[in-house]
Amino acid sequence: MIFFIIYSIIIFAPCEKRRVTFILNQDSIDYYLKLKNKINIFQILTIAIILIVGVILVKFKPAYAVTLGEEEIGFVNNRTELQSIIDNDILTTDDETVAFVTLDDVNYSFQFVDRNLINDNTVITKIKESSRNIYSVYEVSDGNDDDSVYVNTLQEAEELVNNLKNSYSAISPNLAITTLYLEEPVTDEAISNAKAKIAESLNAQLAEKKQRDKRTVNGIYLACLPLKSGTISSRYGSVESVRDHVHQGLDLAANYGSPIVAVADGTVKFAGANSGYGNLVIIDHGNGVETYYGHCSSITTTVGTKVSAGDTIAKVGSTGNSTGNHLHFEIRINGSPVNPQRYIY
């Protein structure tokens, strides 16, 4: 404003002086009159521009439009001051449970703005309201995402891992701690539910491990039962009139023709008739472990065949020294029969 007033004084002051200087000369008078008319128009225009600019400067002023994320949230006078408040006040916290405070990107653009729209405090309030606390949370996982437990401190996570490793040392659970950043801390209820769930999962693994241990003969895992369904009709060690020696296997009564499967991976060592055993299959599983399947009605494998647990090798019958359809199942370690019920059934 002041600039325009000074400017107009500089423009008009010499004109007033010239009016006196050239008044004696007629040509000069004509020239001057024309010039005067021109100056009058120039003066009016200049005054008008000064007034317009004056009005604009009264109503508007330069300021910074502030954008938070995608949204324009208002106008501030001082960009540096606002940025300082954001850095030192809004984005820092004394709350030790908070890992850090996050905020969408703040951007500024320089504009002429209606003075009434400039309000630093409103902008600061809006930015404060949109800031979010981020909490560090520790995930304890056994590798299965469904069983993860989230706790709020690293100490809690480490204690949980130690407790679980002690309680489930038999299965050596593979537990890992991962740090995550979430907008909410974990509630006690969620922690307790998750702990129950991971315990359930580890209990299942423990039960499976126990079953697997039970079913392991000299390092060979018996993955299958030899029959899908069969009823024990004579146990290992029983003395019965049908034979002249102590029973060396487990008899499982089943329907004629029921499939008999290999209980573990191995190689067929014998497949054919064998006196009292009738039709017999012997599978060598390695580590000195062999399984015998006797009294078969038919044999569906041959010597030397590599079989997998669950492969059908024969059918139930009553060949050899037998009084009814059944499977005589025998396990031998280094040639000596052992009680199959130590491992299965």
Residue of 64, 62, 77, 72 lying closest to 126 (CA atoms):
72
Encoded tokens for 344 = 């299965």
Q: Which stretch binds Zn ion (CB under 5 A): 14-22, 127-135, 241-249, 265-273?
A: 241-249
Rounded least distance, CB 330 to Zn ion, Å: 8
Between residue 165 and residue 194, which ones bind Zn ion under the rule CB under 5 A?
Answer: none
CA atoms within 13 A on the CB side of 172: 0
**What are the Cα distances from residue 100, in Å, to 96, 183, 194?**
9, 10, 25
Q: Which stretch binds Zn ion (CB under 5 A): 104-112, 245-253, 262-270, 313-321?
A: 245-253
| Spatial contact of 79 and 111, defined as CB atoms under 8 Å apart | no
Residue owning tokens 């055993």: 277
Closer to Zn ion by CB, 251 or 311: give it: 251
Encoded tokens for 90 = 């809004």
Between residue 65 and residue 94, which ones bind Zn ion under the rule CB under 5 A?
Answer: none
Residue whose CB is nearest to Zn ion in the complex, by number: 328
Q: Which of 120, 251, 290, 311 binds Zn ion (CB under 5 A)?
A: 251
| Spatial contact of 303 and 320, defined as CB atoms under 8 Å apart | no
Q: Which stretch binds Zn ion (CB under 5 A): 77-85, 118-126, 164-172, 250-258?
A: 250-258
Closer to Zn ion by CB, 178 or 255: give it: 255
What is d(CA 202, CA 161) in angstroms, rounded to the nearest whole number? 12
* Number of residues this chain uses to bind Zn ion (CB under 5 A): 3
Phi and psi at residue 42, to the nearest 5°: -60, -40
Phi and psi at residue 230, to the nearest 5°: -165, 150
- Number of Cβ within 10 Å of residue 146's Cβ equals 10
Site map 33..72 versus Zn ion, x via CB under 5 A = ----------------------------------------
Closer to Zn ion by CB, 128 or 243: give it: 243
DSSP 311: -
Site map 319..338 versus Zn ion, x via CB under 5 A = ---------x----------
Site map 195..234 versus Zn ion, x via CB under 5 A = ----------------------------------------
Give the pairing type, strands 289-296 and 326-333. Answer: antiparallel
Q: What is the CA radius of gyration of the chain?
A: 48
Closer to Zn ion by CB, 113 or 252: give it: 252
Closer to Zn ion by CB, 141 or 322: give it: 322
Q: Under the rule (CB under 5 A), what is the footprint of Zn ion? A: 249, 251, 328
